[in-house]
Amino acid sequence: MSSRTKPATDAVVLPGLPPMPWALLAAGCLGMFAASCSGTTRAPFLIDMARDLATTVAYVANLMAMTSIAWGVASMAAGAGSDRWGRKPFLIGGPLGLALCMVGVSHSETYFTVAAWATAAGGCSGAFTGVIMAEAAARTVDRQRGRALGWIMAGQSMTLLVGVPMAAWIGSFVGWRGVNVTVAGIALLAALGLLASTWGRDGGKLAAGSKSVSLRAAMTGPVMRLLAMGIAERVCYGLTAVYFATFLQSTYSLSLKGVVVPLALFAGGNILGTVLGGQLADRLPNRLHTFAAAMAGSAAVAMALFLWTPGLATSVALGFGYVFVNAIARPSLMAALANVPDAVRGTVLGLNVTSASFGWLGAAALGGWMMTSFGFGGFGPLAAGVGLVGAALALVGRK
| pTM over cut 0.85 | no
Task: Using the CB atoms, write b or e for 89-120: b if 16+ within 10 Å.
Answer: bbbbbbbbbbbbbbbbbbebeebeebbbbbbb
pLDDT recorded at residue 300: 96
Q: Are residues 183 and 224 in the same domain?
A: no
The answer to whether residue 209 sits within a structural domain is no
pLDDT value of position 190: 96
Lowest-pLDDT range of 43-52, 83-92, 146-155, 278-287: 43-52
| Average confidence score pLDDT of the chain | 86
> Within a domain: residue 9?
no
Is there a single domain that holds both residue 81 and residue 152?
yes
Q: Is there a single domain that holds both residue 268 and residue 385?
A: yes
At 356, the amino acid letter reads: A
Q: For residue 69, is it within any domain?
A: yes
The predicted-structure confidence for 176-228, as pLDDT tens digits, reads as follows 999 999 999 999 999 999 999 998 776 555 444 445 555 666 677 888 899 99
- Are 133 and 265 within one domain? no
H/E/C letters for each residue in the chain? Answer: CCHHHCCCCECCCCCCCCCCCHHHHHHHHHHHHHHHHHHHCCHHHHHHHHHHCCCCHHHHHCHHHHHHHHHHHHHHHHHHHHHHHCCHHHHHHHHHHHHHHHHHHHCCCCHHHHHHHHHHHHHHHHHHHHHHHHHHHHCCCHHHHHHHHHHHHHHHHHHHHHHHHHHHHHHHHHHHHHHHHHHHHHHHHHHHHHHHHCCCCCCCCCCCCCCCCCHHHHCCHHHHHHHHHHHHHHHHHHHHHHHHHHHHHHHHCCCCHHHHHHHHHHHHHHHHHHHHHHHHHHHCCEHHHHHHHHHHHHHHHHHHHHHCCCCHHHHHHHHHHHHHHHHHHHHHHHHHHHCCCHHHHHHHHHHHHHHHHHHHHHHHHHHHHHHHHCCHHHHHHHHHHHHHHHHHHHHCCCC
Domain encompassing residue 49:
20-197
Residue 6 clears pLDDT 60, i.e. is over it? no
Residues 6+ apart with CB under 8 A from 360: 68, 234, 238
- 191 and 143 both lie in a single domain: yes
Q: Which residue has the higher pLDDT, 295 or 253?
A: 295
Model pLDDT, residue 12: 45
pLDDT at 13 over 70: no
pLDDT at 7 over 60: yes
Predicted confidence band of residue 107 (pLDDT cuts 50, 70, 90): very high
In a domain, 49, yes or no: yes
Tell me what the mean pLDDT of segment 118-133 comes to: 93
φ and ψ of 284, to 5 deg: -85, 150
What is the band of 1 on the pLDDT scale with cuts at 50, 70, 90? very low
Percent of the chain beyond pLDDT 70?
Answer: 91
> How far is Cα 203 from Cα 123, in angstroms, rounded to an integer?
22
Q: What is the pLDDT of residue 183?
A: 96
Specify whether 360 is located in the same domain as 290.
yes
The CATH number for 52's domain is 1.20.1250.20
Are 188 and 263 part of one and the same domain?
A: no
Q: Which residues sit opposite 194 in a β-bridge?
A: none
**Phi and psi of 10, rounded to 5°?**
-100, 140
Per-residue confidence band for 11, with pLDDT thresholds at 50, 70 and 90: very low
Angle at 385 between CA 384 and CA 386, to 5 degrees: 95
Domain limit, last residue, from 131, 163, 197: 197
pLDDT at 248 over 80: yes
**235 and 171: one domain?**
no
User: Average pLDDT of 371-385?
Assistant: 90
> How many domains are contained in the chain?
2
Candidates 204, 222, 314, 226; CA nearest to 262 is 314
State whether 387 and 314 are in the same domain.
yes
**What is the tens place of the pLDDT at every residue in 360-375?**
778 878 888 888 888 8
User: What is the predicted pLDDT for the residue at 285?
Assistant: 85
- Give pLDDT, residue 397: 63
Give pLDDT tens digits for 328-357.
999 999 888 888 877 788 888 888 888 888
Q: Are residues 37 and 176 in the same domain?
A: yes
* Residue 305 neighbours by CB under 8 Å, 6+ apart: 240, 315, 318, 319, 321, 322, 379, 380
Residues 91 and 42 reside in one and the same domain: yes
**pLDDT at residue number 14:** 46
